[in-house]
Structure 1
Amino acid sequence: MALILKNARYLNEMNGTWTARQDDILIDGNTIKEIGSLEHLYSDHEVWDVKNLLIMPGLINGHQHTPMSLLRCYSDDLPLMDWLNKKMLPAEMKMTSEDRYWGAMLSMAEMIKSGTTAYADMYIDMDTIAKAVQETGIRASLARGMIAMDSNYSDRIEESRQLVERWHGSAEGRITAMVAPHSPYMCPPDFLSDAVKLAKELDVPLHTHLAETSDERVMIQERHGMSPVQYLQAAGFFEDTRVVLAHGVHFTEEDLSILESVKGGIIHNPVSNAKLGCGTSNVVELKKRGLKVGLGTDGPGSASTLDMFMEMKAAAWMQKLLHEDASSLSAHEVLTMATQNGAEILGIGKETGSIEPGKKADLLFLNMNQPHLLPAHHDASLLVYAAAGQDVDSVMIDGKIVMKNRELLTMDEEKVMFEAKQSAENLLRRL
């Protein structure tokens, strides 16, 4: 039996402006089938009266490392390279598969409860993370993060191949896969070229960290005599590929000229970049150059929060400060970055990112009847500047309600929190 969302007040984008409309929405299986006056169908289907909620497309977190939730606030107030090399990598090397499972589950619980319906993950032991995705019902683009500091890297290439072959299109289509050489500074030229060849062979996107810090630029210039963007270009990274480029903080004019024609785009991570002192991506300039920009949280080990409403606020605030112009990045533009743009960059834009017939039913239901969300002069501004993840009342992913009235329905929240806490404590004892 299909489901009708009765009295649905929903927010959608048209010609750059997000406006609210009032209709009924018919969901058949995992798909939005019809929007309009559907009273004549009420007797034939299950009906959910949602008149007290505001509906919007699910948020897309374009860059994440889910098991790092176990290391939330473990190594704060350090520069990126110290944070990574002195604290995070040594701890991650001690993680067990069980640790990674419960870390991933904790991240997915947090993401769903704060309105994320689809996300991109880059880590190791991706079979374990894919299992968590299957169980929780979230939509995910998964990639084995690959590091190669020497010539012996064939196992990582093979793991990436197996991930794509095993999981791409699985979980009723909720799981897609990518190939993810970690970053220019952790991938020598031959390895990077082999990763690009694999992505082209398997016809999946490439996902990498790029131009996150000024140190990265200096490092690549000293090693290879070029910028990180030029280094990727030399490996064929932008030729006949779709790319998911996380961060994009430190670009030159020549870098931007190279990137103007890419298929895919930049995933902006404002909270993580600010917290690690990396700087902020010039989103306004990227948009002027025709680049598509989405939003991500980065891992909870750096950002500390997976709340995409916080990322939306930070994205808008930081551009206004960077350009000393309150109009530089509007709430409407930020909402598009967090939904449609993110979906298109991940290659799932035909399935999700907006509310329209034919799209998958990935929806958020927000409780707007709260002191901090009244009065409702402009819904888009309220969502970006005033709302928080805790305002999400219910979540639907792929036509299935995975949270209702703040209760997670696809996982035992108390067990997930208990097991994740135990895993974190055990992990620190092994260091």
Structure 2
Amino acid sequence: MRQLVVRNCSVLVVPQVGECRVDEAQDIHIQDGAIIRIAETEPAYTEVEVLDATGLLAVPGLTNSHTHSPMVMMRGAAEDVSIDDWFNRKIWPMEVNLTPERVKVGARLACAEMLLGGVTTFVDHYFHADQIAAAALESGIRADLAPTFFSSTGTEGREAAFEAAREIRALGQSSGRITASLGPHAPYTVSDEDLRRTAEVARTEGFRVHLHAAETDDQTHSSIDQHGVTPIEVLARTGVLEAGALIAHGCGIRDADLALLQPYRDRTAIACCPKVYLKLAMGSTTPIKALQENGIPIGIGTDGAAVHNTLDVWESLRLVALTQKQREQNAEWMTISDTLRLATRGGATAAGLANLTGALEPGRRADIALVDLKAPHHQPVHDPRANLVYSTRASDVVHVLVDGEVVVRDRTLTKVDLTGIIEDARSLAHTLVDLSANATIQTYAP
């Protein structure tokens, strides 16, 4: 039996409803990767590995509920453009240059960045997902990976993406940290026929579906104008909602869509990535209040770093709180406790891990971030919960555990060489952002 005690830390307690709290001077007892007990600290331990966490605050490891991890290689290369130009003049032409090697190098950098920032799980949607799986396994992070496809790649491309998901799921069974979803891109790039086929495979083989839908109000208007239905209606009539889905963004979800989503609230969630909506001037943000009133789970994500610039979920959760207050014009809405719950329990639910991660409780996997609140930007600390939402930076994370394994110790990755990862990324990044091919993988015209 592997045993570890995280000793003498404060612990963020995140109940399913109500106020979060911080319990002081606690020891977290871990056995075989699971939390078995949390109790007041004891003076000493013998014959047990101890991680001294004196002065640190233990929080459930964060989940990045929607991202495209290898896009860190395009960080800063598509700035100050409209959403149409971001896709058509920058990103989709750059993605002509994708290769398995370049994807793996980017994924290794992304996994390193997320772990160092206290992210213990990420939910990914990208190409060459087998390479992302390899990077995740190497670093020790937990991941759900959806191999992406467009209908423009034909039946062969669709079925290849399904087969990649099957292979990733088989790979992950040995580690317990890697799962797979099916990854059609979006209703405006994937035909109803392909969405129906996706839903059929998902139901038959036990996958979830991870895709973009109703990303903006403009997309919803366009769908109604062209097809007479909203993107959420498309997902309903093709069986995607019934199969179970993680829907990225949903900023264009309408009130009438809520009745379609509500029956599938046990298997469908929405990922909110607010920095992207601000940066691309998308006009709105995810209607979290209305979704929650209908019982639809919400997770917090970063989207890809080609638009978000970082994979910092602390930044994202802070922007969720701020943009939701602004959206509802209510300073009392999206409280500190509710924001922390979205980033922890909400993220775990969005990742399909509702009963495994997302809270520090006996029986759950020991995915833990230990945060230092002693830096000047935290002082004085009147309410550590407020510090977590409004002051914490990724660099405040000191130690990180995934499945009870210490994967970051004293702000240093334990399983991979960060220097080598950065050198590899620097050496290859220019090959990805090269636009000289004058080609594109897709056209953005929802």
Range class of TM-score, shorter chain: over 0.9
Equivalent residue for 1:273? 277
Name the CA shift for 1:202/1:68 in 2 (closer, same or farther; >3 Å). same
Is the contact made by 1:118 and 1:138 (CA closer than 8 Å) also made in structure 2? yes
Question: Could you tell me how far apart the structure 2 residues matched to 1:255 and 1:37 are?
Answer: 47
C-alpha separation between the residues in 1 aligned to 2:82 and 2:20? 38
C-alpha distance in structure 1 between counterparts of 2:433 and 2:81, whole Å: 19
- Map Cα deviations across residues 29-74 of structure 1 (whole Å, 9 max, x no partner): 2111222247498113122221211110000111010111111111
CA distance in 2 between counterparts of 1:4 and 1:24 reads 6
Structure 2 counterpart of 1:5: 6
Q: 2:38 matched to 1:35?
A: yes
1:391 counterpart residue number: 396
Counterpart in the other structure of 2:156 = 154
Q: Which amino acid aligns with 1:2?
A: Q
Structure 1 residues 410, 430: closer, same or farther in 2, change over 3 A? farther
Alignment correspondent of 2:440: none
Distance 1:129 1:171, change over 3 A: farther
| 1:181 positional shift | 1.0
CA–CA distance in structure 2, aligned partners of residues 283 and 270 of structure 1 = 11
Residue in structure 2 matching 1:347, options 352, 369, 376: 352
Structure 1 position 429, deviation (Å) = 4.4
Tell me, yes or no, if structure 1 residue 193 matches structure 2 residue 214.
no
Q: Does 1:373 align with 2:378?
A: yes
Structure 2: give runs of 5+ residues left out of the alignment.
437-446
Following superposition of structure 1 onto structure 2, how do residues 66-85 of structure 1 map, counting pairs within 5 Å?
66-85=69-88
Question: 1:102 corresponds to which residue?
Answer: 105
TM superposition shift of 1:373: 1.2
Q: Partner of 1:290 in structure 2? A: 295
1:139 paired residue number: 142
Give the aligned residue type for 2:158. R
Tell me the equivalent position of 2:256: 254
Contact 1:65 1:123 in 2 (8 A): yes
Residue 336 of structure 1 aligns to which amino acid in structure 2? R
Structure 1 counterpart SS, 2:152: coil
Give the distance between the partners of 1:329 and 1:37, measured in 2 at CA: 31
1:313 and 2:356 equivalent? no
Q: Show structure 1 runs of 4+ deviating over 6 A.
A: none
| Post-superposition offset of 1:406 | 1.0
User: Following the alignment from structure 1 to structure 2, what is the Cα–Cα distance between the partners of residues 189 and 35?
Assistant: 49
TM-score, scaled relative to structure 2: 0.92
TM superposition score normalised by structure 1: 0.96
1:166 is displaced (CA, Å) by 4.0
Distance in 2 (CA, whole Å) between partners of 1:320 and 1:412 is: 41
**8 Å Cα contact 2:77/2:433 also seen in 1:** no
Aligned twin of 1:223 = 226
Pair 1:171–1:295, CA change in 2 (3 A): farther
Match of 2:166 among 164, 167, 179: 164
- Residues of 2 paired with 1:207 and 1:330: CA distance? 28
How far apart are residue 426 of structure 1 and its match? 2.6
Give the drift of 1:161: 2.9
| 8 Å CA contact 1:106, 1:420 repeated in 2 | yes
The number of residues matched between the two structures is 429
- Relative to structure 1, is the Cα distance of residues 370 and 41 closer, same or farther in structure 2, using a 3 angstrom cutoff? closer
8 Å Cα contact 1:149/1:188 also seen in 2: no
Residue of structure 1 in register with 2:67 after alignment? 64
Is 1:174 matched up with 2:182? Answer: no
Q: Offset of 1:197 from its aligned partner?
A: 0.7
Q: 44-53 vs 396-405, which deviates more?
A: 44-53
Give a deviation string over 1:316-373, Cα, whole Å, max 9, x none: 1111112221111111111111111111122111111110111111000111112211
Q: Is the partner of 2:433 in helix, strand or coil?
A: helix
Decide whether the 8 Å contact of 2:74 with 2:432 is kept in 1.
Answer: no
SS in 1 for 2:173: coil
- Worse-superposed segment, 179-188 or 317-326: 317-326
SS of aligned partner of 1:161? helix
Residue aligning to 1:51:
54
Q: Aligned equivalents of 1:156 and 1:380: distance in 2?
A: 44
* Match in the other structure for 2:425: 420
Matches within 5 A, 1:322-337: 322-337=327-342
Contact 1:264-1:344 at 8 Å conserved across structures: no
Q: Secondary structure at the residue paired with 2:241?
A: coil
**What is the distance in 1 between the residues matched to 2:43 and 2:174?**
34
Taking the aligned partners of 1:146 and 1:427, their CA distance within structure 2 comes to 19
Identity of aligned residues (%): 32
AA at the equivalent of 1:154:
E
1:260 alignment partner AA: Q
Alignment of 1:86-125 (within 5 A): 86-125=89-128
Q: 1:382 aligns with which of 377, 387, 397?
A: 387
> What letter matches 2:374 in structure 1?
N
Deviation at 1:294, TM superposition (A): 0.9
Any conservation in 2 of the 1:4–1:24 contact (CA below 8 Å)? yes
Structure 1 match to 2:365: 360
Q: Distance in 1 between matches of 2:193 and 2:225?
A: 18
Instruction: Say which SS state the counterpart of residue 209 (structure 1) adopts.
Output: strand
**CA distance 1:166–1:371, shift in 2 (3 Å):** closer
Over the residues paired in the alignment, what is the CA RMSD in angstroms? 1.7
Deviation track 1:10-34 (CA, whole Å, cap 9, x = no partner) reads 1111232111113211111211122
